[in-house]
Amino acid sequence: MAIRSAIITVMIQAAYKAAPGLVHDFGEVENLQVSMKGPSDFVTSADLQAERVLRAELARARPAFGFLLEEAGVVKGTDESHRWIVDPLDGTLNFLHGIPHFAISIALEHNREIVAGVIYDPLRDELFRAEKGGGAYLNNRRMRVSSRAELSQAMIATGIPWRGRPRQSQYLDWLAAVMTNCVGVRRLGSAALDLAYVAAGRYEGFWEPALSPWDIAAGILMVREAGGFVSEIDGGSGVLASGDVLAANDQLHEPLLALLAAANATRGAT
């Protein structure tokens, strides 16, 4: 049985407290799917309710810490060195369409460094967690990134920039490179779970541009603590700020970086 610190226990309890509401509301989406109005407003309120529960639970346990919340934004704490980064519902579009793939993501920053992360998939009851220097776990089993070392055997997850997002033609060049060199590409719609799955060795890698800190903060730590590497898509180190993520197992991070860079070079992009 893995040892859990007090802080990760607080995060897990908060996720467990918010999850039943999300699961219940997800059940309602199916009924609303056929109504004239559709489930959009309902999903927004499910999202907000989950965020309220998470915020209340985390604040109760550590009243001085600040927050960066997907819905409510920045909430300053009296302790400026600690900040929770919370996505109450990652995979909102899946949730809205009745697709059972979404998660709660909670990270803790200390002096601007991510020190703990929890990603909880309530429908599969899969709890992913990591602490800086303490390894990464899936439901109390130690996680390790996959050992596949060939791009030709690699399953790569991604996120496709949707309507109105920048860099769509650049994205198509990246995709062309990855799809022609790797064994498979997946786009499941929750960046938090994509990163958790890289940590768990299910995917060899994941890349997506222009994500937000709450999508990726917990997952970045998880991949690193599971022995993988995370950088920006061009290899830079400002991944939390830019949201341009490339995560992979230790053996394939470098080859993927080169593959994506070559795709840009072919196209003449900088």
Residue type, 123: L
Residue 215 as a binder of ligand 2AM (CB under 6 A): the answer is yes
153: its two tokens: 């055997």
Rank residues 11 and 218 by Cβ distance to ligand 2AM and give the closer one: 218
**CA-to-CA dists, residue 12 to 61, 132, 189, 247, 256, angstroms:** 12, 16, 23, 24, 33
Contacts with Ca ion, 87-116, as mask; x by CB under 5 A = x--x--------------------------
Task: Compute how many residues bind Ca ion; rule: CB under 5 A.
Answer: 3
Nearest distance from residue 29's CB to ligand 2AM, in Å?
14
Tell me, residue by residue from 211 to 230, as one string, x for binding to Ca ion by CB under 5 A and - for no binding.
Answer: ----x---------------
Binders in 23-62 for ligand 2AM, by CB under 6 A:
none
- Which among Ca ion, ligand 2AM, none contacts residue 189 (Cβ within 5 to 8 A by kind)? ligand 2AM
90 lies in the site for ligand 2AM, by CB under 6 A? yes
The closest residue (CB) to ligand 2AM is 159
Q: How many angstroms separate the CA atoms of 245 and 237, rounded?
A: 10
Residue 93 interacts, among Ca ion, ligand 2AM, none and using kind-specific CB cut-offs from 5 to 8 Å, with: ligand 2AM
Regarding 91 and contact with ligand 2AM (CB under 6 A), the answer is yes
What is the residue whose two structure tokens read 């407290």?
Answer: 17
CB of 209 to ligand 2AM, least distance (A): 10
Site string for ligand 2AM, 147-176 (x = CB under 6 A): ------------x--x--------------
Stretch that binds Ca ion, among 75-83, 84-92, 161-169, 234-242 (CB under 5 A): 84-92
Which chain residues interact with ligand 2AM by CB under 6 A?
Answer: 87, 89-93, 159, 162, 189-191, 208, 211, 215
